[in-house]
Amino acid sequence: MFKSIVEYFDRLEDEVRVKLSHRSVLYAFIGGMATILFWRGIWHTADILMFRGGFWGWFFYEPLTLVWTSIMLLMTGLFVSNLIGERVIISGQKKETKVADKTEVEVGKEESEINVMRSRMIQMSKDIEEIKKAVIK
């Protein structure tokens, strides 16, 4: 049952992403709002736990929280990707346009270039297999 629920929401997410990807400003607004409200819920939960005192009181003391969450994010490799994002870093290093700034035409052109490269790689793989067979004989 759990698997079917996960599959349903996975399909729903795919459909929503496809529809919203053509309206980037609306997508950013909805995503930003939901993200802020999510973190607001986390923030208020931490406040509730802090005010109860005891172990949780000192654990959620703001400067200490900054330290242990930074360590946690660094250890899991999420620090840079959460705060900046891999695509931003990679596109900056390659001096490329951000994906969000590309037009549908540019994205389509990149897709066709990738497909051409894929077909070339398949052909090269076939050629290598033929060469192997010729060398073995």
pTM: 0.48
Give pLDDT, residue 10.
Answer: 81
**Which residue ranges of the chain lie beneath pLDDT 70?**
80-103
Note the helical H segments in the chain.
2-20, 24-51, 54-59, 62-76, 79-83, 86-93, 104-136
Task: Give the pLDDT confidence score for residue 55 in this predicted structure.
Answer: 72
Closest CA to 12 of 20, 22, 23, 1: 20
Instruction: Yes or no: say if 50 and 56 are a contact pair by the CB < 8 Å rule.
Output: yes
- Match 């389509």 to its residue by tokens: 108
